[in-house]
Amino acid sequence: MKPDYKLVAKAKYIHLTAELADELWRECRKRWYNPKQLDTLVEALQSPEAIEEQIDAGANYFIIQLGGKPIGYFAWKMENTALCLMGIYLKPEYRGKALGQGVLSSCERLARAEGKGRVFCAVPTRSLPVIQFFKAQGYRPVGPADQTVEGILLEQTEMERILR
């Protein structure tokens, strides 16, 4: 079954995305941050208000659905010469099934269509499976992309793929 991507534009979808983010951000980062830090990060970066602000600033969020059931989400934003993939998050039982590859392929096609020369993203530096996933898709690490949010350091590595 092929997934559908539902553009997040209405309030109910913003709230659904925030609910998915609350679950998936915690699950993906629980080994690096304590519960209070996770609360702070989710509120600052993936709350309904934060998502709405990002959409207002040009981000595009999509809920990934399989058979009408929400199984994850992703977001991207166009920049001057590149598409910035802001994240791909899937429920654990849907990882490793080529769904992330499909999202990347869609983003790369869109970037090419818009005349962009690369796709890049910042991934958790300590998440070797995520880094390996991007490397397997032709992305390469280009350096640190650390970010401090509400006094909490997010250790990140920028990964990029030059489009041909």
The CATH number of residue 70's host domain is 3.40.630.30
Between strands 147-149 and 152-154, the pairing is antiparallel
**What residues contact residue 105 under an 8 Å CB cut-off, 6+ apart?**
none
Q: How many domains does the chain have?
A: 1
Can you give the residue range of the structural domain that contains 43? 4-162
Alpha-helical runs (H) found in 80-139: 99-113, 128-136
Per-10-residue mean pLDDT of the chain, 164 residues long, equals 92 95 94 95 97 96 96 97 96 94 96 97 95 97 97 97 94
CA distances from 120 to 14, 15, 31, 82, 127 (A): 24, 26, 25, 7, 17
Burial class (CB in 10 A: 0-12, 13-18, 19+), 35: exposed
